Structure 1
Amino acid sequence: MRSTIRGAAFGLIAALSLSACGGSDSSDDNPLTGSSGDSDSKALVVGSANFPENQLLAEIYAQALEAKDLKVTRKFDIGAREVYYDQIVKGGISVFPEYNGALLAVAVDEKSTATSSEDINAELKAKLPSSVEILDSAAAEDKDSVTVTAETAAKYNLKTLADLKPVAGDMSIGAGSEFKTRTQGLVGLKTIYGVEFGKFQPLDAGAQSTLLELLKKNTVQAANLYTTDPAIVEDKLVVLEDPKNLFSSQNVTPLVYKSAVNDTAKAALNGVSAKLTTEDLLDMMKRLVNDKEDASTVAKDWLTEAGLVS
């Protein structure tokens, strides 16, 4: 997405309009979760963006919290960061699986030049609104990318984002609609690499399966895919290298509304971060996307294997 939303050629759900900013308070309406949330006013509200990986991470958080006897309400499929961030800051959402670099660059400080996870988290801790905070980041990372087919890479001799400069004018790029105005998107491609595409094809973040098909059919010649997308390996797609770090580190990081989470909740979420790796994300996404398994089952299996639930 990433842009940084992430995230991502996942064909499990239909495209969701960014205008659907309320999402769903119950997972009964959500094919990615298998159990309904608790509507108790004291429940922790776990939110997610409108793409499958983020919903899976939110389900992992929700089950980890429930394993500590904490009440949880699920509010998934909310939309892009431009939609859900204010809900977290104002307390409408208690817990959210974020990607630290995107959070900083998109919502907190668009002028930040931090690229390493350590520097990004230091800036977030200093600059986030006082009502929210980040907890421990996971080793797991899902970065935005500009990805092309092997045929396109060979045709234009593309290896890095810089190689796009002389040819991008003859190409079309597909991405979530927010990619057009983000620094970690078309704006940064132009200012950092001098790359300007001839055409931009916007899609909702939840319509990434459509984006993948457009790429494979050569309707678009480049796409903003997430690096944990199983299709990259399966379809032998080429992720263009980013030597100037346009796309910063994107470690999975819990963002929480301070007054809503107690020490038990923080320990549960930090426990997830301590175990979650990029390889885990790849494995889970293969089950979610290729095998079409239910996210609640995938989440429970991982939590069990990680020793976080019994």
Structure 2
Amino acid sequence: MIRGAAFGLIAALSLSACGSGDSDENPLTGSSGDSDGKTLVVGSANFPENQLLAEIYAQALEAKDLKVTRKFDIGAREVYYDQVVKGGISVFPEYNGALLAVAVDKTSTATSTAEINAELKAKLPSSVEILDSAAAEDKDSVTVTSETAEKYNLKTLADLKPVAGDMTIGAGSEFKTRTQGAVGLKSVYGVEFGKFQPLDAGAQSTLLELLKNDTVQAANLYTTDPSIVEDKLVVLEDPKNLFSSQNITPLVYKSAVDDTAKAALNGVSAKLTTEDLLEMMKKLVNDKEDASTVAKEWLSQAGLVS
């Protein structure tokens, strides 16, 4: 599921991290990662929105005269999280609810932003911390076409229970084993799909095509995907909060970020809204604009770069 170029990076990160032990040394830079003349490594997962957010972080840091190395398209959380904990990555744009439920405490029942962040601060490994969360959110969803919603009278996830056995759901491969995924759909709503179609987490455009041509009848789409509105897709309501709050939140390796870096990242969080994110994703996905250009435009409009 991981692209070839990313696989080589992951292997290098893993080898370096294994040799770092309990040291604060950054295995990518050979330094502690402190920003006084050293390099901050900004990472991203393997889907466009996260890469855009990482580019925003990188440019915000560079605007404060901090040195940055970009390590994008690494893979899913199951791959990159340990690299942040080990110090191979200094800064990562995370989604707080998924970070808690997938990587930190799979038994957590926290759903609100405040509850999630309180648990993260208490339970994260001592080498890392979260900074301020943005108002911007991008949640997982189970989404269907308007035709499928009408055919089965679907409004909420609970409505899937009697019909999901005859349906195929498409999603990133990790969705199958996640509590905020197929496992939770079964335990919380009693929903079990007849078939599961795995895709790379970055293959949202492919997933949309499979949904629209009825190869899959449901899809795990991100709620800031502009195609949801444009194609009149139906995001099924989640009354039991299976998918928790997913605020954009910087996850950082403590010894790699100083107060200047923290202020730059918190400045992004203070300005970033869900509406901003949706607008940027339209430019990125529909207009095919470059992520660095979209990031620079938003940072300028937000008054974070000159």
TM-score of the pair, normalised by structure 2: 0.89
Deviations 1:102-146 (A, max 9, x none): 000000000000000000000000000000000000000000000
Q: Percent identity?
A: 91
* Alignment partners' CA distance in 2, 1:103 and 1:113: 13
Secondary structure of the residue aligned to 1:17 is helix
Change (3 A) 1:275 1:18: farther
CA contact (8 A) 1:110 1:183 kept: yes
Matched residues in 1 for 2:166 and 2:193: separation?
7
Preserved contact between residue 169 and residue 193 of structure 2 (Cα < 8 Å): yes
Partner of 1:7: 4
- 1:8: Cα distance to partner? 21
Compute the displacement of 1:36 (Å): 21
Cα drift, residue 42 of structure 1: 2.2
- CA deviations 1:130-165 (Å, max 9, x no partner) are 000000000000000000000000000000000000
Structure 1 equivalent of residue 207 of structure 2: 211
Is 1:16 the counterpart of 2:26? The answer is no
1:97 corresponds to 2:93: yes
Higher relative helix content? 2
- Cα separation, 2, equivalents of 1:309 and 1:225: 32
Aligned residues: 305
Following superposition, the deviation at residue 7 of structure 1 comes to: 20
1:208, distance to aligned residue in structure 2 (A): 1.4
Deviations 1:79-115 (A, max 9, x none): 0000000000000000000000000000000000000
Query: Per the alignment, do residues 209 and 33 of structure 1 end up closer, same or farther by CA in structure 2, a change over 3 Å counting?
Result: farther
- Structure 1's unaligned 5+ residue stretches are none
| Cα contact 1:138–1:276 (8 A) shared by 2 | yes
Taking the aligned partners of 1:279 and 1:285, their CA distance within structure 2 comes to 10
Per the alignment, in what secondary structure is the counterpart of residue 20 of structure 1? helix
Question: What SS class does the counterpart of residue 253 from structure 1 fall into?
Answer: strand
| Matched-pair contact (CA < 8 Å) for 2:32–2:255 | no
1:241 Cα deviation from its structure 2 partner: 0.1
- Structure 1 ranges of 4+ moved more than 6 A: 5-25, 27-41
Cα displacement (A) at 1:266: 0.1
CA distance in 2, matches of 1:111, 1:151: 36
Superposition deviation, residue 60 in structure 1: 0.2
Change (3 A) 1:33 1:235: farther
Deviation at 1:68, TM superposition (A): 0.1
Unaligned runs of 5+ in 2: none
Whether the aligned pair in 2 keeps the contact of 1:117 and 1:251 (CA below 8 Å) is yes
CA deviation vs aligned residue, 1:261-306 (integer Å, no higher than 9, x gap): 0000000000000000000000000000000001101000000000
Instruction: Note if contact 1:147-1:222 (Cα within 8 Å) is conserved in structure 2.
Output: yes
Separation in 2, partners of 1:117, 1:7: 35
Give the match's secondary structure for 2:66.
Answer: coil
Task: Give the 3 Å change call, closer, same or farther, for CA 122–40 of structure 1 in structure 2.
Answer: closer
Cα displacement string for residues 187-240 of structure 1 (whole angstroms, at most 9, x for unaligned residues): 000000000000000001011111110000000000000000000000000000
Task: Output the CA distance in 1 between the equivalents of 2:113 and 2:234.
Answer: 24
Distance 1:22 1:308 in 2: 37
Q: Does the CA contact (< 8 Å) of 1:288 and 1:294 recur in 2?
A: yes
Q: Which has the higher contact order (CA 8 A, sep 6+)?
A: 1
Q: Structure 1: how far apart are the matches of 2:137 and 2:278?
A: 10
Aligned to 1:272: 268
Distance 2:107 2:305 in 1: 40
Q: 1:20 to 1:11 in 2, by over 3 A?
A: closer
Equivalence for 1:137:
133
**Offset, 1:307:** 0.3
Asked whether the 8 Å contact 2:17–2:83 carries over to 1, the reply is no
Which residue of structure 2 lines up, in the alignment, with residue 154 of structure 1? 150
Query: Is contact 1:165-1:196 (8 Å) kept?
Result: yes
Distance 1:89 1:131, change over 3 A: same
**SS class of match (1:28):** coil
The structure with more radius of gyration: 2
1:46-79: CA deviations, max 9, x gaps? Answer: 0000000000000000000000000000000000
| Structure 1 residues 14 and 110, CA gap change in structure 2 (3 angstroms) | closer
Instruction: Supply the RMSD in Å over aligned alpha carbons.
Output: 6.2
- Give the SS at the match of 1:147: strand
Cα–Cα, structure 1 residues 78 and 250, in superposed 2: closer, same or farther, change >3 Å? Answer: same
Q: The residue matched to 1:129 in structure 2 has which SS?
A: coil
Contact 2:157–2:189 under 8 Å retained in 1:
yes
Q: CA deviation at 1:23?
A: 19
Question: CA shift at 1:21, angstroms?
Answer: 14
